[in-house]
Amino acid sequence: MAAALRDRYGVSKGDRILVQSQNCNQMFESMFACFRLGAVWVPTNFRQTPDEVAYLARASGATGMICNAAFPDHAEACRAACPDLGFVVAIGAAAFGEDYDTLVAAHRGVAVANATVDRDDPCWFFFTSGTTGRPKAAVLTHGQMSFVATNHLCDLMPGTGPRDASLVVAPLSHGAGVHQLTQVAAGAKTILMPTERFDIAAAWRLVQQWRVTNMFTVPTILKMLVEHPAAAEYDHSSLRHVIYAGAPMYRADQKRALETLGPVIVQYFGLGEVTGNITVLPAHEHSTDDAVARIGSCGYERTGMAISIQDEAGTELGPNETGEICVTGPAVFAGYYDNPDANAKAFRDGWFRTGDLGHLDAAGYLSITGRASDMYISGGSNVYPREIEEKILTHPKISEVAVLGVPDPVWGEVGIAVCVTVAGESVGEAELGAFLEGKMSRYKLPKRFVFVDEMPKSAYGKITKKLVRQALEERGLLDGARAA
């Protein structure tokens, strides 16, 4: 594929290649084809809408695209939005581009030397979002990813090597892609799920069949895995490292996982900008015994990384004092692509500001106590209320709205939209839900709508989420906010 990209399309060092696909061999291969050429791999969340992906194509300055045949509308939207998009390759038969496998067959055996790259040369644009919800391209570099691969293997999965096998149960476009890169570095096997749909019984069957030793997941998926009857039907004794990250995990769910799988679960805290490389709570520090378990902690500093809890002025705080979690070290990204304003806000005196609030105890264990923004995490995905609120406010019968994240036993958190209608108008939950369909990714859709006569506001007339939440709690309107 590297030969096809180079010889057929002229791809060279620094070119950005957008990849829109669910997990498959070709998507995974495309990462290494780009790296071989010194090009930049730009994977998307395949669940995003055509317009959302078209924005990513523009924001990244993509000059080429690899797109699964299941997404013709995405390919069309990117072509329309990006005049510099020189080609589209189709994974599978599709009218919108040349076939990936045919190109590979035509260029099989053609030698392609590794491009000469520097530590600070970009290799991956990892799309994340700010408090406005507008995606930003975090620039991951070759040197950064070399450190991260080594660090993941040492801190998260010590002893991983060619005899190991890793099952992919999350999209390769994000944290799972970083995890699988480390598996290739160690010579371990990677096993993909047979279909896009997450089949829990099939996952456990593959664990037994391939003697899977590790997997990367999020608390939502880990909860589903251990609560499914198939967990008792298949042999999972080969598992040594079941890594979870991306969202808080309820203590009851953590205990259930330990009781089902044994002492094999590993937690880490990290953002896309730091490639999941801030803390680790290793398997031997997890326990079902509340007296010894570090309940609420996401672990201690990863090797080579440093954490600082800082106040608004950038002054470092002492043990058990709450402030913003800041981090520095080789795993920190190079900055946001073509976004100087975001970079100015994200870095201060050499520290990357995560936007999360927390504290370190006297032993150096980190606890996350809140978020500097209103962002919430549903099923491991970040959800930004402002983006959703803006879409809801395009409905002609809605005058004000506030979207909150509320606890959910299945997804961790889900969205609840608090709405005020235009005077004299009325609208129901079904109508609003139907109105939002197709306007955003499904995981962003509120799971419940609450209608109030007046929105709680501060003395300055500003809608304050804290006041909105308090008002709903007082009226008992948060009860029953559960995922559909």
Report pLDDT digits (tens) over 407-465.
888 999 999 999 999 889 999 999 999 999 999 999 999 999 999 999 887 544 567 78
pLDDT reported for residue 372 = 66
pTM of the model: 0.82
Task: Look up the CATH superfamily of 141-326+358-368.
Answer: ANL, N-terminal domain (3.40.50.12780)
pLDDT in tens, 218-231: 887 898 899 999 99
Positive or negative, the Cα torsion across 432, 437, 438, 440? positive
User: CB neighbours (10 Å) of residue 372?
Assistant: 15
Do residues 259 and 288 make contact, with C-beta atoms less than 8 angstroms apart?
A: yes
361 Cβ neighbours under 8 A, 6+ residues apart: 297, 319, 320, 367
Vertex 45 angle, CA 28 and 1, to 5°: 25
Question: Which residues belong to CATH 3.40.50.12780 in the chain?
Answer: 141-326+358-368
For residue 57, give the H/E element and its range. Answer: helix 50-60
- Measured CA distances, 57 to 76, 87, 273, 424 (Å): 12, 12, 19, 42
Give the CA distances from residue 249 to residues 88, 322, 403, in Å, rounded to whole numbers and listed in that order.
Answer: 40, 20, 22
Instruction: Read off the amino acid at residue 311.
Output: D
What pLDDT was estimated at residue 105?
Answer: 98
Name the amino acid, one letter, at 104: V
Residue 326 CA to residue 309 CA, distance in Å, equals 6
Structure tokens, 15: 């070119």
> Which part of the chain has CATH 3.30.300.30?
376-474
List the structure tokens of 362. 């006297």
Mean pLDDT computed over 464-477: 86
Tell me what percent of the residues of the chain surpass a pLDDT of 90.
78
Per the CB < 8 A criterion, the answer to whether 337 and 406 are in contact is no
Q: Mean pLDDT for the chain? A: 93
Do the Cβ atoms of 54 and 81 come closer than 8 Å? yes
Give 437's DSSP letter: B
Q: How far is CA 347 from CA 53, 350, 351, 434, 461, in A?
A: 27, 6, 6, 41, 32
Q: Distance (Å, rounded) from C-alpha 216 to C-alpha 205?
A: 17
Domain 376-474 in CATH 3.30.300.30: yes
The predicted pLDDT at position 247 comes to 67
First-to-final CA distance of the chain: 42
- φ, ψ for residue 145 (rounded to 5)? -70, -30
Q: What CA–CA distance (Å, rounded) separates 256 from 267?
A: 15
Q: Left, alpha or beta for 14 (phi > 0: left; psi -120 to 50: alpha)?
A: left
| CA distance linking residue 130 with residue 346, whole number of Å | 10
- Residue 370: which pLDDT band, with cuts at 50, 70 and 90? low
CB 322 within 8 A of CB 360: no
User: In one letter, which amino acid is 37?
Assistant: L
